[in-house]
Each structure stands twice: as structure tokens, then as C-alpha cells.
Amino acid sequence: MDMEQYIDELRKRREIAHGTAKDIEAQHGKHRLTARERLELLFDPGTFTEIDSLVIPRFESYMGGKGSRYGDGVVTGFGLVNGRHAIAAAQDASVLGGSLGEMHANKIVKAMRMALQYGCPFIALNDSGGARIQEGVDSLGGYARIFDANCEASGVIPQISVIMGPCAGGAVYSPALTDFVFMTENSYMFITGPDVVKAVMQEEVSLEDLGGGRVHSTASGVCHFLTKDDRDCLNQVRLLLSYLPSNNQDDPPYVRPVDDGERRCPELEQIVPVDPYKPYDVRQVIGSIVDDGRFLEVHQLWAENMVVGYARLNGYVVGIVANQPMVLAGCIDIHASIKAAHFIRICDAYNVPIITLQDVPGFLPGKDQEYGGIIRNGARMIYAYSEATVPKLMVILRKSYGGAYCVMSSKGLRGDLLYAWPNAEIAVMGAEGAVNILFRNEVKAAADPAARRKELIDDYQRKFNNPYVAAARGLIDEVIEPRDTRRVLIRALELTLAKRERHAPKKHGISPA
Ligand code: HXC
């Protein structure tokens, strides 16, 4: 054979790997892109470089006599995302439904280990019928190796799972072990499918209702980003990566700011009502403080009483954790605590400073919360704040009551620089509640109980419900005017970026369950 013939043979094999026009059409017919089209959108144009494209399944007979489709149902490789290296695996639904066999799993694990070794993010694009039935236990073993690689890489390189088709059975645990899960509206995840639910529970349920993107974004919290379609989804993955470092040894990407670091924000004085009972949207506060008003919210549709996400301050990436007074008055409940704790741990792992904006009346009361384990779940947030060694800055915008004060970046949890607005109320509880408990008998015995009660409330308000008691103890570092919030945070951030803190040596801590 001459060189031309050798090259010809290689090209033919590659063509087989890419699938036929019919395969591509079938995928488009489901309003989904093919694995390679997705990778082209994920990576900077023309930078995706495939590896292992000529891998074939362990036993060709699995292909039902149709001949080998090189690649074994998953496309792996590397390229640039926003100019930085990343590694990805995209399941190819046109090969045995994207099902996972032994070699398919080997390819994914190899790509993950490369990402870990070379310190770059790993992105898995899932579109698969799950364990390849014909490969039995070899397939199950493959999943276990993927899970293990997920755990090994956890906290070292950012891991992102993108669900763009089915993701069923135990296959869901790889995404669940990664840092972020994206879903398209046209995708679903479940442990047990509708047929099993019907057989065991005698309950009819549709695929969308059981595990569609919306369900996992609003009810289960499995999904962090719900996206319209493949294209929108991959754009958002690229945006998220622009806030993350390549690995835990790097700093997150600094962007030369356009916004003025000394900019005052007088609008904050209107956005936050002084009346503690009036709600407002804390995202407006965030928008006012951060560079160019840009905020990438994570978990936007779940536990909406806590807002978390990424932004920049004078060009530096920060993670924001904020109570949302518009939902449940900003009370902390089980989901809010889990959401904040997970986000804080991701920020800490990837050297992203944490800015906490507090306006919180306390923990959500009630039997549901107690039975659901608000005690152990609330503890997760404490653990995460305490464990975090990145700069921790905080601003109390209005209410800071009770346990909620302690658990959100307080001095006791080694918060670095903490601020309060002059209207802040920092106390064990609100004035009315306190008077009801402390002065019940005195109010009852008064000639005019209503007048006495009001007098006592005003007195409590003056004595305790202000930022000056905390300032007098050094429990906050300064009381600031709302309009100065951005510039003060930037100055504090630029000082604390140099922070280096280490934990006492231990194998690992034990986060509350
Ligand atoms: C082998 C599979 C397969 C699988 C699909 N195919 N799933 N082959 N193993 N798990 C094959 C089909 O036989 C078909 O082959 C081709 O892929 C396309 O499948 P269709 O059903 O025609 O496609 P579609 O209608 O789009 O439906 C896709 C699907 C469905 C929803 C994924 O195929 C499905 O329900 N598959 C089974 C899902 C499942 O129960 N998996 C096991 C989950 S348990 P031909 O030759 O006809 O083109 C699990 C355990 C993991 O995964 C444990 C980890 C610890």
C-alpha cells in the first residue's frame, strides 16, 4: 500500500466513527444535536481535538451484526474554552443509544484522569440509555470506575455534567458527584423509570413529571442550571467556566474591569426598604454592587430564599451568598442551607472569595423543618463557612437575627471583614418577639397594655436592634453607608486576597449528613 492508501483507510475508519447522515438526522429529529456538534459548540471554534476515536466495543457481536461503530458511543477529547484547556466526553446516542459498555467507560475514565493530571475542567455531556445491557457486569463495573474518578477529581478540577437526553438508573450518580449539573428542557434523569414506578407503586407518572429538567431544577435541586436547548445550554456552560479556575492550584480568571472600583451606589438606599417587614429582591442589590451588574445565578429555581452565584468585583471573581427577603422573608430552611453549603464548598475548593449579604429573620419554624432535619442540614452551612479558608466578607443589609447571625460568615466562624448598614438590626430576635417573651407580665399588668408594649418595643429597638452593639464589640468591623458598599467590599477584597490559612492536619473532616 502507498501512503495515499493508508491515509484513505484511516479516513474511512473516521467516517464510520462519525456515523451516517441517517444517524445524524435521527438525533436532529429528537430536537437534539449530535455529540460532535455539541462539542463544537462547547469548545472555542475549531479547537476540539478528539482522542480514542478508533476504540471499538470489547465484543463486536454487541453491534447486532451491524459492524463496529468506532468510538463505542462516546466522543472524548480536549480543546480550549474561553482560551483555556478543558477536556470533555460526549455520549453519542446514535451508537446503541449511547449506552455505556466497558470500552465506552474506559474512554471516559481515561479522559477524566487526563483532566486531573493536566489540571483542567472536565465536562461530561450525557445522552445515554444507561448500562449497556449486552455487556452486563462489565458495564456496571465501568460506572463504578467513573464514580471513583469523579470522587478523586472532586475539589481538584471543576467537573460539570450536562444532561442533554436520557440519564437513567445508577448512571445519575456520576452527575450527582460533580460540581454542577446542567439540564436541557428536553432531557431527563431518574433512578427508576415510569414503568418501575407503575409496577411497584401502582402510580402513573410521565417521564417529564418524574425527572424532567424542570422537576430537577425546582423540586429536587439536582440540577443547577435549566436551559432551553442544546445551544443555550453549552453557551451557559462556557459562561460558568469563565468564572472558574482551571484547577484548585489556580486563581479564578481575573478580567480587567471596565466598571469603576470607587463607584458609589446611592440606589441601594431605595432598593432596600428600611421597614423590616417590606420585601425586596436581593438580586437588585447584587446587581448594583458587582461589576457591570453581571451576576451568574446558580440554582436559580431551587430554594429561592437563598441566592447564590458568581460575579466580579473590580475584575476579581467572587461567590455571592445572599438571603432573599422576597421568598419566605429570607428565612433559612433545609434546602437553603444545603444550597448555600454546597456553593460555599465549591467556592472554597476553587479559591473564590465569598461575599455574604445578610438580611435574615432566622430559621424557618415548623414541624416540616424539624422532621426534615433542619438541625443536621442547617449544620452543613456552618460547617461550610467554618471550613472555608478563602476570604470571607459580609454585609448586613437589614435583619440579622438569632442563629442566622451566627451561621452566616460571622466573626466566630472567622469571617474576615464584616460590615453593617446603619439600619441593621443585629439581635437574638426581633423587638416584638423579644418583648413578648421578656415583658409578658409587665405588659399584662400595665394600665394601658398596648401603650406599654409599644414603649418596651421602642426601647428594645433602641438598645439592641442596631449595628452599634456589634460594632462596639468588634463583632462587625465597620458600619458603612449603603452607597459605599461596592468600594468598601473591593478594598476589603483586595486586602484579603493575600489570605493563606490552613486547617489542623487531619485525614478529612466529617461534614454533617
Ligand atoms: C443496549 C440500548 C440501550 C441499553 C438503548 N439501546 N438503550 N442498547 N443497552 N441500555 C439501543 C436500542 O436497542 C436501539 O438499538 C438504540 O439503542 C436506540 O434506542 P431506542 O429505544 O430506539 O431510542 P429511543 O426511542 O430514543 O429511546 C432511548 C431510551 C430507550 C429512552 C434510552 O432506549 C431506553 O429506555 N433504553 C433503556 C434504558 C434503561 O433502562 N437502561 C438501563 C438503566 S439501569 P437499535 O439496534 O434498535 O438501533 C442502568 C444501571 C446503571 O443504567 C448502574 C450504574 C451503577
DSSP 8-class letter at 198: H
CB 213 within 8 A of CB 223: yes
How does pLDDT run across 94-119, given as a tens digit for each residue? Answer: 999 999 999 999 999 999 999 999 99
Is there a catalytic annotation at residue 169? yes
**Cα–Cα distance, 272 to 2 (Å, whole number):** 76
Angle at 289 between CA 430 and CA 265, to 5 degrees: 90
DSSP-derived 3-state class of residue 415 = coil
- pLDDT tens for each residue of 12-66: 999 888 889 999 999 999 999 999 999 999 999 999 999 999 999 887 766 665 6
* Cα–ligand 1 centroid distance for 99 (angstroms): 6
The pLDDT of residue 67? 63
How many Å apart are CA 434 and CA 430, to the nearest integer? Answer: 6
Structure confidence at residue 384 (pLDDT): 98
pLDDT beyond 70 at 220: yes
188 pLDDT more than 90: yes
Amino acid symbol at 479:
V
What pLDDT does 69 receive?
80
Could you state, in order of their start, the residue ranges of all structural domains in the chain?
3-241, 268-428+466-496, 431-464
Which residue do the cell numbers 493536566 mark? 118
Q: pLDDT above 70 covers what percent of the chain?
A: 98
Record: fold of 3-241: 2-enoyl-CoA Hydratase; Chain A, domain 1 (3.90.226)
Answer yes or no: 403 catalytic.
Answer: yes
pLDDT reported for residue 295: 98
Q: Residue 436 contacts by C-beta under 8 Å, 6 or more apart in sequence?
A: none
Q: Is pTM beyond 0.85 here?
A: yes
- The type of residue at 55 is V
Whether residue 409 contacts residue 354, with contact meaning beta carbons closer than 8 Å, is answered with yes
393-451 residue pLDDT tens: 999 999 999 888 899 999 999 999 999 999 999 988 888 888 999 999 999 999 999 99
- Sorted by sequence, the CB contacts under 8 Å of residue 117 that are 6+ apart come out as none
Beta bridge partners of 425: 399
In this structure, the number of other CB atoms found within 10 A of the CB of residue 203 comes to 10
98, 127 contact by CB (below 8 A): yes
52-56, 62-66, 249-253, 276-280: least confident range: 62-66
**C-alpha to C-alpha distance for 479 and 473, rounded to whole angstroms:** 12
Residue with cell 466495543: 57
Whole-angstrom distance, CA of residue 160 vs CA of residue 176: 10
Residues 318 and 311: beta-carbon distance below 8 Å: yes
Amino acid in position 380: R
Same fold, 3-241 and 268-428+466-496: yes
- The answer to whether 14 touches 52, Cβ cutoff 8 Å, is no
CB 59 within 8 A of CB 96: no
The DSSP bridge pattern shows strands 417-420 and 478-479 to be parallel
Q: What secondary structure letter does DSSP report for 292?
A: G
**CA-proximal residue: ligand 1, atom 53 (nearest):** 170
Task: Tell whether the model's pLDDT for residue 139 goes beyond 70.
Answer: yes
Catalytic: which of 79, 129, 142, 169? 169
pLDDT at position 131, please?
A: 94
Catalytic residue among 115, 131, 340, 404: 404
- Which atom of ligand 1 is the closest one to the Cα of 144? 55
Instruction: Report residues whose beta carbon is within 6 angstroms of any ligand 1 atom.
Output: 64, 96-97, 99, 129-134, 140, 143, 166, 168-171
Cell of 7: 491515509
User: Is the CB of residue 203 less than 8 Å from the CB of residue 43?
Assistant: no
Q: In the beta sheet, which residues pair with residue 400?
A: 360, 426
Dump pLDDT digits (tens) for 468-501. Answer: 999 999 999 999 999 999 999 999 999 999 999 9
Query: What is the residue with the minimal CA distance to atom 22 of ligand 1?
Result: 97
- Strands laid side by side in the 49-51 sheet: 49-51, 74-81, 84-91, 122-126, 159-163, 180-184, 225-227
Q: How far is the CA of 237 from the centre of ligand 1 (A)?
A: 26
Task: Examine the residue annotation and report whether 379 is marked as an active-site residue of this protein.
Answer: no
Determine how many CB atoms are found less than 10 A away from the CB of residue 1. 8
| Amino acid at position 149, single letter | A
Closest of 15, 125, 113, 107 to residue 70, by C-alpha: 15
Choice between 192 and 285, residue whose per-residue pLDDT is larger:
285
Task: Give distance in angstroms: CA of 168 to centre of ligand 1.
Answer: 9
Mean predicted lDDT score pLDDT of the chain: 95
Burial of 103 (0-12, 13-18, 19+ CB in 10 A): buried
pLDDT in the model for residue 167: 95
**Region 268-428+466-496: CATH code:** 3.90.226.10
Which residue is associated with the grid cell 473564590? 352
Mean pLDDT computed over 130-144: 94
Do 189 and 169 touch, CB atoms closer than 8 A?
no
